[in-house]
């Protein structure tokens, strides 16, 4: 039975509040455009969801596989027709027999600090985050700040942050906004100084390689015409590693600013250009003297 005849499409995703909000966002225009099709969501437990205590690094797997593998496996077993991911959770190299069909309009890509505004953080402030990237970047801007590991869904993280008396929590702005919790944001972190990860704020809509007809406009297929924010955001593993190395280094903030567009918005086909720019930034950073103007003054707050 073909997908055109089935009249029902199963959408697979993680089961968190945020994942469900992402699926609702993705399906809203599809349901309006295709009232004859029933879209049903199926939640899938990933290994990262099962263990919410251990740090992501301690789980001993690729960080992308932690939140994507089980959803992809369900897609390949024909248990769901479409998989909706946070694009940054997908591996850099596409999984065989899958196709990244759609990347809808991007939400705010920045990181956000909840609670105390950035400029109001006292010396020795305590900030909740388990992300190695966020910890490294925070240490670069404010080496006096202590990070406290917290994992889990967004609402419990915010609740734990308050219960522990922490000054704030670093999260993706897109997640807070999609959950209707934008009011929790105290500071929007300037991406020139605090670059977000590649593809943050973008949904990755994945199908099986053999189901590309779902995107064909001439067949009025359900994914046809869905707006693309990025054709296929896919940043190399090398880029991630080099940016992390750069951010950990203690040198003038202008070198971090060089990475903004490369790190957050690199598109397929631009990896060699990105690699060249990163290498140039690394050379400048290693040659730059310590000290200089305090770059944290440029971070925007609400």
- DSSP output for the chain: --HHHH-EEEEEE--SHHHHHHHHHHHHHHHHH-TTSEEEEEE---HHHH--SS-TGGGTS-HHHHHHHHHHHHHHTTS-SEEEEEGGGS-SSPPTTEEEEE-------SEEEESS-GGGPPTT-EEE---HHHHHHHHHH-TTPEEE---S-HHHHHHHHHHTT-SEEEEEHHHHHHTT-GGGEEEE--TTTSPPPTTTT-EEEEEEGGGGGGG-GGGT-TTTTPPPSSS-----HHHHHHHHHHHHS---THHHHTTHHHHHH--TT-HHHHHHHHHHHHHHHHHSPS--S-GGGG-EE-
* Pairwise pLDDT comparison (57 vs 41), residue with the higher score: 41
pLDDT score, position 291: 43
Q: How confident is the model at residue 127 (pLDDT cuts 50, 70, 90)?
A: very high
Q: How confident is the model at residue 155 (pLDDT cuts 50, 70, 90)?
A: very high
Q: pLDDT tens digit string along 11-21? A: 999 999 999 99
Q: How confident is the model at residue 183 (pLDDT cuts 50, 70, 90)?
A: very high
Looking at every residue in the chain, the average pLDDT score rounds to 76
Model confidence, pTM: 0.72
State the catalytic residue, choosing from 49, 78, 81, 89: 89
Q: pLDDT tens digit string along 54-79? A: 655 555 555 557 888 999 999 999 99
Mean pLDDT of 131-145: 90
- Residue 228, pLDDT > 60, answer no
- Residue 115, pLDDT > 90, answer yes
pLDDT score, position 274: 55
- Residue 182, pLDDT > 70, answer yes
Q: How confident is the model at residue 172 (pLDDT cuts 50, 70, 90)?
A: very high
The CATH classification number of 3-107+199-232 equals 3.40.190.10
CATH topology agreement for domains 3-107+199-232 and 111-197+238-301: yes
- Residue 232, pLDDT > 50, answer no
pLDDT score, position 212: 82
- Residue 259, pLDDT > 60, answer no
Domain ranges (residues) in the chain:
3-107+199-232, 111-197+238-301
pLDDT score, position 249: 43
- Residue 6, pLDDT > 80, answer no
Q: pLDDT tens digit string along 185-216? A: 999 998 878 888 888 898 999 999 988 877 76
- Residue 260, pLDDT > 50, answer no
Mean pLDDT of 269-295: 52
pLDDT score, position 295: 41
Which CATH number is correct for 111-197+238-301, 3.40.190.10, 2.60.40.10, 3.40.50.1820, 3.40.50.2300? 3.40.190.10
Mean pLDDT of 240-265: 44
211 is catalytic: no
pLDDT score, position 67: 84
pLDDT score, position 36: 87
Q: How confident is the model at residue 273 (pLDDT cuts 50, 70, 90)?
A: low
Q: How confident is the model at residue 240 (pLDDT cuts 50, 70, 90)?
A: very low
């Amino acid at each position: 039975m073909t997908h055109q005849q089935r009249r029902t499409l199963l959408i697979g995703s993680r089961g968190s509040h945020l994942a469900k909000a992402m699926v609702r966002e993705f399906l809203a225009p599809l349901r309006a455009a295709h009232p004859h099709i029933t879209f049903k969501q199926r939640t899938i437990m990933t290994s990262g969801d099962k263990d919410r205590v251990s740090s992501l690094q301690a789980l001993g797997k690729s960080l992308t596989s932690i939140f994507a593998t089980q959803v992809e496996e369900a897609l390949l077993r024909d248990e769901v027709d479409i998989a909706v991911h946070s694009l940054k959770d997908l591996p850099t190299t596409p999984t065989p027999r899958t196709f990244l069909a759609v990347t809808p309009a991007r939400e705010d890509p920045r990181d956000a600090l909840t609670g105390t505004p950035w400029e109001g953080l006292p010396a020795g402030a305590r900030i909740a985050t388990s992300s190695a990237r966020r910890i490294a970047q925070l240490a670069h801007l404010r080496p006096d700040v202590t990070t406290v590991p917290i994992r889990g869904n967004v609402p419990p993280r915010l609740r734990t942050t308050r219960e522990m008396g922490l000054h704030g929590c670093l999260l993706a702005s897109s997640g807070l906004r999609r959950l209707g919790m934008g009011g929790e944001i105290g500071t929007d972190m300037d991406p020139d100084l605090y670059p977000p990860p590649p593809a943050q704020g973008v949904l990755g809509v994945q199908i099986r390689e053999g189901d590309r007809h779902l995107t064909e406009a001439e067949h009025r297929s359900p994914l046809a015409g869905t707006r693309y924010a990025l054709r296929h955001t896919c940043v190399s593993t090398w880029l991630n590693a080099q940016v992390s190395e750069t951010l950990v280094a203690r040198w003038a903030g202008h070198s971090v600013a060089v990475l903004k567009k490369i790190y957050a918005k690199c598109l397929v086909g631009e990896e060699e250009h990105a690699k060249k720019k990163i290498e140039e930034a690394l050379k400048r950073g290693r040659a730059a003297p310590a000290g200089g103007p305090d770059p944290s003054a440029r971070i925007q707050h609400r």
